[in-house]
């Protein structure tokens, strides 16, 4: 494919020149970020102490409770997540041994994970970084994993922060970033969970693919010079010290290093043996079922990147998604939370579509499209989808009441109002698209429609995630 010019982040090509993308000002984006953080906090802590522990949470919580109270009746003393053991031990000591104590720090880690794209604003652009945060906040898998003290949240958080440290080291050549990255990656492999090592393999492979396709002449650190300058001695020493401190809880739990052995043993087991309680490719099934809309939008993001030129960020997310699919296939013991291996790169590709939907389009067949045009179309699309969803539910419920013994005559008993609403919603959508396309041109209709579908899908997916989290 012929190389095409890729506009810098937060810019749009207009009149042959790259100009700033017309989005709300910094203060507005700051308010959006704060609102997102508060909403995420509420969703993760609301009724957190009233929902009983799920079966996957119990072994970790019992091991931490046994550590805090040695005279407890439980015999569970070993866990395959030393980091989660340390976190739950701290909260059990401070706020007590209940559901909130078992989940509080993981819920906070989930908030930090969904806000982590803000660390990469220089690479993503401020607007795309905020969009990625919004998409992650609307992910039901992210919500469920954060509310159920899943160690997968910790492994992803450590790995993402490690990627940020590597990127900062490439930019600054500061040894502190190299030591931080090494410590975080070693902690991901030996402290977080058995899937930490496969996650590092995925991210490392995606990074290698991205660098192999990027012109090294335009990179601040060409070739492997930055790799040779890595302070391996100091970095590995600090990483080993950090692992020992966390695993042994400042040497208060001297047998804590055995949990690292349990983690490595669990990794071998999960690579070779499937969990008898979960079907094959369970993480992929969870991703497709709970985050259905992510997949077609991610495919649209790939098409956009292919037509307009892949940026390094797009290449990284694409490679991560492909390697994530391989990961959930090879890692036979994947839990539902391991669907996050797919959620993050999917959200990254969807953010490309959302960014394109927010770009200004000053062309028009009869007059220039105003800035509110796409939002008007998005509101109409959202309303039509709401009507279509309600009508489909009415028709579906009436179909459940049909008597198969009656045969074809039973079709006359379908809810007529639901059928009429379905037909009207579809017709209004078709007519509205061509009407907007003829007045303000097709890009405005496509942008507004994409925004409306995306917002509707986010809200409905988040609702399904909440129902699963608070049964």
Are 424 and 331 within 8 A, CB to CB?
Answer: no
* pLDDT reported for residue 110: 95
Residue 362 lies in a domain: no
For residues 80 and 193, membership in a common domain is answered with yes
Q: What is the mean pLDDT of residues 158-168?
A: 95
pLDDT digits (tens, 9 = 90+) for 367-408: 566 777 788 888 888 888 888 888 777 777 666 666 655 555
Tokens of 207: 């990074």
Cα distance from N-terminal residue to C-terminal residue, the chain: 50
Q: Where are the alpha helices (DSSP H) in 116-150?
A: 121-124, 126-137, 140-147
- Indicate whether 328 and 380 sit together in one domain: no
pLDDT band at residue 211, thresholds of 50, 70 and 90?
Answer: confident
pLDDT, position 425: 76
* Predicted pLDDT of residue 30: 84
Q: Which two tokens stand for residue 239?
A: 């990483």
Same domain, 380 and 282: no
Q: What is the pTM of this model?
A: 0.85
My answer on whether 115 and 158 are in the same domain is: yes
Three-state SS at 18: strand
Look at 285-289, 295-299, 381-385 and tell me which has the smallest mean pLDDT. Answer: 381-385
Nearest one of 95, 84, 93, 206 to 153, comparing CA atoms: 84
Sign of CA pseudo-dihedral 455, 461, 462, 463: positive
- pLDDT band of residue 470 (cuts 50, 70, 90) is confident
* Same domain assignment for residues 178 and 298: yes
Same domain, 397 and 327: no
pLDDT value of position 415? 63
**pLDDT for residue 471 is more than 80:** no
What are the tens digits of pLDDT across the range 318-355? Answer: 999 999 999 999 998 888 999 999 999 999 999 999 99
Tell how far CA 194 is from the center of its chain: 20
Other C-beta atoms lying within 10 Å of the C-beta of residue 246: 20
At residue 367, the pLDDT reads 58
CA gap 281, 330 in Å, rounded: 9
Same domain, 349 and 431: no
Q: Evaluate if residue 2 carries a pLDDT over 70.
A: no
Across-strand partners of 17?
Answer: 14
The contacts of residue 259 (CB under 8 Å, 6+ apart) are 78, 79, 80, 81, 82, 85, 247
Output the pLDDT for position 281. 85
CB count within 10 Å of CB 367 equals 8
Contact 135, 354 (CB under 8 A): yes
Token pair in block for residue 196:
């930490």
Domain extent, residue 126, equals 24-357
- pLDDT greater than 50 at residue 442: yes
Do 170 and 223 fall into the same domain? yes
Q: Is residue 12 part of a domain?
A: no
Task: Quote the tokens at residue 395.
Answer: 């028709």
Q: Are residues 95 and 220 both part of a single domain?
A: yes
Query: How many structural domains compose the chain?
Result: 2
Is 13 within the bounds of a domain? no
pLDDT digits (tens, 9 = 90+) for 50-95: 889 988 898 899 888 888 888 877 776 788 899 999 999 999 999 8
pLDDT > 80? residue 21: no
Mean pLDDT of 5-23: 49
Tokens of residue 316, six digits: 């990284």
pLDDT at 253: 79
The overall longest dimension of the chain from CA atoms, in Å, is 80
In contact, 11 and 20? CB cutoff 8 Å: yes
Asked whether residue 10 is assigned to any structural domain, the reply reads no
Q: Quick: pLDDT tens for 264-281.
A: 999 999 888 877 667 778
Gap between the Cα atoms of 259 and 251, Å rounded: 14
């Amino acid at each position: 494919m012929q190389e095409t010019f890729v506009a810098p982040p937060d810019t749009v090509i207009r009149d042959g020149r790259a100009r700033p993308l017309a989005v709300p000002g910094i203060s507005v984006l700051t308010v959006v970020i704060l609102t997102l953080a508060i909403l995420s906090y509420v969703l993760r802590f609301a009724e957190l102490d009233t929902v009983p522990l799920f079966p996957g949470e119990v072994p970790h919580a019992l091991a931490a409770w046994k550590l805090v109270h040695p005279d407890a009746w439980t015999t569970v003393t070993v866990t395959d997540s030393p980091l989660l053991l340390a976190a739950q031990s701290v909260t059990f000591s401070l706020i007590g041994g209940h559901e909130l104590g078992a989940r509080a720090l993981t819920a906070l880690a989930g908030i930090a994970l969904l806000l982590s794209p803000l660390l990469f604003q220089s690479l993503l652009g401020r607007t795309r970084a905020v969009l990625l945060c919004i998409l992650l906040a609307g992910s039901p898998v992210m919500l469920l994993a954060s509310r159920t003290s899943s160690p997968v949240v910790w492994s992803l958080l450590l790995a993402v922060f490690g990627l940020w440290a590597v990127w900062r080291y490439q930019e600054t050549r500061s040894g502190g970033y190299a030591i931080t990255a090494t410590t975080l990656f070693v902690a991901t492999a030996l402290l977080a969970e058995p899937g930490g090592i496969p996650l590092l393999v995925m991210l490392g492979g995606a990074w290698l693919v991205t660098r192999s396709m990027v012109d090294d002449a335009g990179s601040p650190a060409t070739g492997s010079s930055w790799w040779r300058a890595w302070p391996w001695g100091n970095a590995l020493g600090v990483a080993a010290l950090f692992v020992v401190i966390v695993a042994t809880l400042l040497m208060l739990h001297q047998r804590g290093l055995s949990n690292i052995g349990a983690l490595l043993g669990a990794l071998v087991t999960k690579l070779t043996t499937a969990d008898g309680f979960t079907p094959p490719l369970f993480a992929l099934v969870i991703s497709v079922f709970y985050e259905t809309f992510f997949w077609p939008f991610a495919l649209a993001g790939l098409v956009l990147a292919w037509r307009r030129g892949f940026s390094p960020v797009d290449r990284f997310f694409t490679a991560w998604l492909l390697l994530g699919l391989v990961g959930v296939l090879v890692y036979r013991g994947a839990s539902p939370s391991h669907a996050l291996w797919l959620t993050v790169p999917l959200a990254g590709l969807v953010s490309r579509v959302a960014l394109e939907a927010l770009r200004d389009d000053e062309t028009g067949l009869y007059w220039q499209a105003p800035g509110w045009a796409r939002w008007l179309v998005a509101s109409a699309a959202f309303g039509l989808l709401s009507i279509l969803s309600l009508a489909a539910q009415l028709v579906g419920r009436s179909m459940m009441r049909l008597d198969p013994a009656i045969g074809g005559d039973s079709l006359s008993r379908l809810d007529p109002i639901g059928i009429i609403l379905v037909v009207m919603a579809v017709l209004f959508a078709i007519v509205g698209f061509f009407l907007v396309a003829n007045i303000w041109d097709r890009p405005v209709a496509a942008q507004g429609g994409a925004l409306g579908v995306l917002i509707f899908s986010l809200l409905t997916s988040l609702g399904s995630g909440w129902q699963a989290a608070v049964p």
